[in-house]
Every structure is written in structure tokens, then in C-alpha cells.
Chains A and B, each alone.
Chain A
Amino acid sequence: MNDAALTEVFMNESKEIISNLESDIVTLEENRKDQEIINRIFRYFHTLKGSSGIVGFKTVYEFTHHLESLFDKVRSGDFDVDSDIIDILLESIDWIKSELFTDVDSDESAGKRHELTLRINRYTGKDAADSAKSENFMSEVGAYKGIGSGERFFRINAAFRDNIFFSGIDPLMIIEDLSTLGDVVHNNIQLKRIPDFFVLDPEQCYLTWEIIIRTACDEMKIRDVFLFVIDDNEIDIENVTDRYTDARQKSWGTEKKLGEILIEKGIINDNDLDELINLQGDKHFRLGDIIIQQGLASPRQVDEALQEQEKIKRKIEISTVRVESARLDNLINLLGEIVIGQASLHRLAEGMDEEESFVLNNALYGLDRVTREFQEQIMSIRMVPIGPTFEQFKRFVRDTARATNREIKLKIEGGDTELDKTVIERIGDPLKHMIRNSIDHGIEPADTRAAKGKPAYGTITLKAYHQEGSVYIDVIDDGSGIDAEKVRKKAVALGLLAADAEVSRDRVLSMIFQPGFSTADQVGDLSGRGVGMDVVKTNIEDLRGSVEIKTREGEGTLIRVKLPLTLAIIEGMLVSLGETILIVPLLSVIETIQVKQQDYRTVEGRGEVILVRGEYISLIRLDRLFGIEANCKEPWEGLIVIVESEGERLGIMIDDLIGQQQIVIKSIDTFITSSRSISGATILGDGKVALIIDIHGLVQEIKKY
């Protein structure tokens, strides 16, 4: 991996870590003694520090080291989390974010870092003088006496390469990290390696530490500290617990495994092992030592077996693999090609005689099944839980609530609900705006709430769930609700609604999604500028989703977003109009009917309509809309596909129904069509391109006329 690729991986990982940190810190503010969160925050800082060092973000590396030290003390119970620590943490996160992801003013940034470091040091330095770890290093004898169950001793020899100072990694910080894992009982810096002061090259590293640490951690944890330097520096880690403990404390169970490993490797056999165990008798000698003494294996072979034993103990389980999202997109594209190929084969089969067609169709049946399963698997890889997206709003709600002098709790439900990664990536901004609206326009100040008999703190709930092949996200607040009459007046004033228009309450409420609409009496810092909810709606519609609003005055508001599970593949209905094949997303299709001539009429103000079971439905002629030559000129000559969007039904005139199949959506550039009625295209089995109708866009487009 080259430096740029490494930095990119680091940036992506950092974003994730920072988002998790923000969420955890806000949660910690409410549950200040939650050890699990405290440990997790410590680990996040530790990871961030390590990886920032390796990619050369030295200031971030150094700064996160302070944060890690702070949290080490918190998790050790040296002091409790207070609101000042929460502020320091969140401000520190902001500093890291700006340092990593924005062009920062270096002086300003350094100033802030200094200020934060001093604030952190006030905590970490508070009890430093009394800390056993800081100054009062225990003697080896003292450590030996003090050993408890589960504690180990490790000897670490760390000789750092001479040019390490230029790699962004500070050896001293690594040694400090190590010291946080336990008690340093012996610290020896080999001064012999350091040249005479007057001929010293101060930019070269001559430092070698020999450290013995008493710790409850296992070797892996010790190795983790050196993770980023172990390959190109001389780092030797040895478990020397035996030398500090009574031989009788040793575990026989693991020693036996050593014998088993050597048998598996063919170095010794069962009989040898029996004899060796006899030799051990009750003297508790180490099996490895006896094997070497007996000349059954070389020290190197025993060493290797011991290493393997350690690996077994670690039980390393690789349960996840991080994959570049572009690779998943490629997989989807390739799958699309397979689907197209299959469609070609089906088409071929249609042209064959019955016997040949039977054989091919039979073979294709099996292929179809596997392809569908393959597709489900790939799609499942693309599905990611919405939880982390929700979690990132914790910080936002906290800060926004503070800025508006409100008390607000964010409740998250259904965080494990999965959505296509593309949808997840694009839903954040609309959700943020909806939450901002809830805070700015919905949740009342504490005193107002108290006067209404509500709890002083408002609650915003983010709730996700699957229903009928779609994903729903509800943004619910228990605020003041929306005054429909006020919305109506505003809509009339803006000319969006006629003063005497008889429209439903839902329709009135939907006005808030109109461009330029705001009922805020004053333009606030957050919202009320009249931009936002229309953008929210457009963004959601771009995701082939929809948004609706429900409100009860005085009780609260619910904004419900409906989204497709995936954007990559849909079930589509293939229909023909003359020589053109179009695709109607099956999710929008209610039914396909034939109408009688007497059920067709023209209504003033609505245009052409058809009567379906007592209900008049607007008729859409796609041939006229898209300029296509259709075979059927009148509604009763062909078929009508009844579709639904946002509760509105439309009848689309088609010549014929071809069938239904899975459609791999290919995006099309706006220079090909800017029509909102087209959401994309697909390639059919015969290689022809078919356009996919965007039902929602179609409804919007029709309304314009």
C-alpha cells in the first residue's frame, strides 16, 4: 500500500472512530460511570493515536496521546468524569476533526491544542506525584512480593531505528503507552548507545530501553503497543513471569499443549510425550526445557511451538474484512451483466423449438436460482445498519440543544435496521435538517414545557424499521407540534395556496416542503431561513423515497421518511410503447387493467381520467410525454398500469405488458435526460437499453401541467 492509499484508509477509519467517539462521549455525559463506554473511549483514542502516528500526523498523534492518558486515569478510577472533562473531550474531537479534515490556520490550531493540552494536564498531572506509575517505580523485589493472581511480567527490549524521529512516531510516547498497561518495575535506558554529547546528532535516535513491566495484560496487548514499530525496529518482548513467580504457579494445562503441538509437527511422538511427562514427575520442570535437554527438539523448534501455543491461546478470530466500497459497486455491476446475459439466454430459448427450449430453460432455471441467491448475498454485503448514522446525531443534538437553551434527549430505536450503503451515505444531511427543525421549531424551552405539564427535557426519537419491502425512518419530537392554520395562512401569503382552496390538513402540512417556506416568526441561527425542508424532500426523493408529516398541536410532530431497501437493483415491470420498452418499478404498481371506452372521460381541470371501481384516476400518456410513437392510440385499445405515489394513483397507458424481471439500474447523465420522470436505465437481454420510469418524478412532472 502506498502512502496516499494508507492515508486514505486512515482518513476513513478516523471518520468512523471520531463519529463513534462523539456518540460515546455524549452518552458518557449521561452515564458518567459507565465503565464499558470509558474503556471504549480509551481504546478509540489509542487506535487513533497509533494510526495517526503511522501516517505522519504527528500533532494528532501527540495530542491523542494526552487524551489517552486522561482516559487511562478515568478508567483506573483516579477521578470521575465531570462536565469539564466532557467539554475537553468534545472540544478535542473538534480540534482533531479540523486538523484532519479541514485546512486549518496553523497558529490558531496550535493555540487551541496548547489550551486543551494544559486543561488535560490539569487532570493527568493532579495526582501524578502520588502515582505509583509516575515516579515511585517499584523495585523488582517489591514487584515480586506484590504479585497477584493473573499478573504477568514482560521484559521488553526496544531499540529504535536511528531515523524514527522523522517518521512521526515518538518512541517516548510508545514507552509511555507501555507504562499505562501496568507497573514499570525496571527501566533501563542503554546510555552506551548514545554518543558523546558534543558529537551527538540530535535528530538521530540512539535510544534503547529495557523495561520490565508487571501487568494483568497478555502478550498481545503488550505487542499492540508496538504495533506500528515492531516491523522496522528491534523490539523484543519476552514473557518472564516464570522468573518472578513460584514455579508451582505454572499451569500444566498449557504445557501439555506444547507436547501436542510438537507431536502434530512430527517432532516427538506419543511415547516420547509419555516419557517426558514421567520425567517431569512432580518436579514441575518446564516441558520445553526437558524436551531440549533430552535432545528431542532444538530450542528453535520448541520456541516455534511455544509461539504457536500462544497463537492458540489468543484465539484470533478474523470476523470482519474491510472492503473498499468501489469493489462492491463493481460486483453489483458484474452481477448486472450476469442478469443481462441470463435475459439474453431466456430470449434465445423463446426462439427455439419446444424440445431445445425445454432443455435450455431447465438449465436456466438452476442458473436463475443461483444468480438470485448470489444477488441477495451481494446486496446483503451492501447493507449496513443505520445505527452509526443515528449515533452521530447525539453530539449534534447536545450542542444544538445547548445553543438554544433547551434540554433535549435523543432516543434511538432500530439502530440495527439495515439499508443500502448508498442510501445511508445520503440520508445523513436530510435527517440532520429534520432534527434541527425539531429542535428549533418543535421542542419548547423547559419553562414553557413545565407550564404545559410536560417533562422539562424534550425528546427527539429517531426510529428505523423495515416494512413491506421499504425502510422507514421516523423523526419524532414531543414538542409543540405544527400549527396547521399558521401553515395555511403562510402558504396563502406566499401564493402557494388559493385563499379559498379546500384542501386536506395533510396537504396543508405538506406545504412546509415547498421552497422558501418557513413558519418561524424570527429567523433563528438554526433554521427558519426558508431553506431546508424542500431540500430535505428533494434529497429523499432523489433516493426514490418519500416523506410525510404528521403533527398534533401541543403534542409533537412525526416526520416519516420512506426509503427503498436498495438503489442498485429493483423488480421491474417491462412494458412496451410502440418499439420502445420501458420499465415501471414493481413496488409502485397496483394493478394492470383494461378499460372500457365508457369508463374514459375528460374532466375539466384534471384532463383525461378513467373510472376504476368508482374512483377517477388521472391518465398519463407516456407517448406524448416522451415523444414516442405508440401503437395504441386510445386508452381502451391497450392496457393501463395503475401506479401509486404519495397516496396518489395514476393510470399509465401502455401498448402491452412484456413481463417482469430484476432490473439492474444504470445511472444516466442529465445531458441524456433531465426529465424527473426517468430515474435511470437498464440493459435488456437483447442488448437494448430500456428507461426506468420514476413514478414519483412522473407525478411531480404531471402536476406542473
Chain B
Amino acid sequence: MKLEGDVSIKKVKQVYSVLKDELKSSKDVVIDMSGVVSIDAAIAQVLLSATIKAKEMGKELRLDGIPAGLNNTLALAGLVANTVQGGHE
């Protein structure tokens, strides 16, 4: 699947629904992030939750083509691999 532009709470239901289908039907889920300008916490939360679910299901959820300007945001949201320290309190 591909995300584009400002992906925010406004699109979260739509993103969630597509991701749900993808997770159920595909083996691995690859999200093309190259066209993303910004994401907010709502989208980050869905991606984070989906990542955990994918792992549980023995699948992989991968974010591809992350624009350089989004790295920090995704890292803080726990979506960049080496910074996902969550869930291990």
C-alpha cells in the first residue's frame, strides 16, 4: 500500500481499514512512504499497532522509501527499527 501527502487523523479510519485487510490477506505488508509529507500520532499509532500484530502473526510490516525529513518523526513514534524500545518496560 502507498501513503501520500499529509497523512493524519482525517485519514486514519481509511488507513486502518486498508491495513486490516492487508494484514489479513497478505503475507508481508510493505507500505510505500515515499510520498508522505507528514504523519501524526493517530497514523503512527495504527502503524505501530499493525507492526506488533504483524510480528505476532509471523509476518513483516515494512515501511519503504521513508523521506529523510520523516526519519526523526518516525523514530520518535517508535516506527524506526532501532528505536522501537516500547513494550519492554
Contacts and interface: CB of A to CB of B under 8 A. Distances in A.
A187 B76 contact: yes
Interface in B54-73: 67-73
A58 B71 CA distance: 22
Contact size class for B?
Answer: 35 or more
Contacts of A166: 9
A205 interface: yes
B68 A175 contact: no
A190 B89 contact: yes
A176 B71 CA distance: 11
Given A126-B68, A137-B83, A117 B37 contact: yes
B31 interface: no
A101 interface: no
Contact of B38 (A62, A135, A137, A196): A62
Given A188-B85, A190-B86, A165 B42 contact: yes
Interface in A188-213: 188-192, 194-198, 200, 202-203, 205-207, 210
A172 B53 contact: no
A128 B74 CA distance: 12
A66 interface: yes
Contact of A131 (B38, B72, B84): B72
Given A62-B8, A189-B77, A207 B71 contact: no
B74 to A, nearest CB: 9
A682 interface: no
Chain B interface helix/strand/loop/mixed: helix
Contact size class for A?
Answer: 35 or more
A494 B39 CA distance: 63
Contact of A114 (B23, B37, B41, B48): B37
Given A189-B78, A200-B46, A170 B12 contact: no
B45 interface: yes
A618 interface: no
Contact of A203 (B9, B67, B80): B9
B40 interface: yes
Interface string A207-234: 1001000000000000000000000000
B28 interface: no
B76 A179 contact: yes
Nearest to B72: A134
Contact of B5 (A114, A125, A133, A195): A114
B68 A191 contact: no
A122 B70 CA distance: 11
B41 A134 contact: no
B26 interface: no
B80 to A, nearest CB: 6
Interface in B15-55: 15-16, 20, 23, 37-42, 44-46, 48-50, 52-53
Interface in A535-565: none
Interface string A111-131: 001100110011011101101
Given A121-B69, A135-B83, A189-B86, 16 more contacts: A117-B38, A128-B71, A129-B68, A133-B72, A135-B80, A165-B12, A175-B76, A184-B76, A191-B86, A200-B45, A200-B49, A202-B46, A205-B42, A206-B45, A207-B41, A210-B89
Interface of B: 5-6, 8-9, 12-13, 15-16, 20, 23, 37-42, 44-46, 48-50, 52-53, 67-73, 75-78, 80, 82-89
